[in-house]
Amino acid sequence: MIKQIAVFLENREGRVSECCKVLKDAGINLRSMSIADTKDFGILRIITDDNELALSALKTAGFLSSLVELVAIEVPDKSGALADLLIALYEGSVNIEYMYSFAGANGHAQIGFKTTSPEKAVALLEQCGAKLI
């Protein structure tokens, strides 16, 4: 499992860069960033090298932010292997709410996803021989 920070952003010009500036000023490195947005607002999801520090810096700056746990795996080298893992999760009725990929600390590609049944997901992935993070 890895930790991600979710930040609520109202749809206002410069809001994303304000958020990045807070992290930069706190000396935090971003490992990944993804945004889900609508016409009125967005949810920014980031993974950093120091989530606790990042969360407190964002909260102090007035950003509505929270820490969320994601199930994460290293993307296998073999072609078709990732699809097999996702099919296994689907067949095991693990519901994935959202997912995205990012670079791991070792440079390998990784995938993180949010699910309502993380224990089940982890067990299934282990059975399939996936490399959990």
Cβ neighbours of residue 58 closer than 8 Å, sequence gap 6 or more: 5, 7, 19, 22, 23, 65
Minimum separation from the CB atom of position 105 to another protein (A):
22
Between strands 41-48 and 96-103, the pairing is unpaired
Residue of 1, 64, 103, 109 that binds another protein (CB under 8 A): 64
Residues 24-53 that bind another protein (CB under 8 A): 36-38, 40-43, 45
Residue of 59, 82, 117, 120 that binds another protein (CB under 8 A): 59
Neighbours of 115 (CB within 10 A): 19
List residues near another protein by CB under 8 A. 4, 6, 8-10, 36-38, 40-43, 45, 59, 62-64, 66-68, 97-98, 114
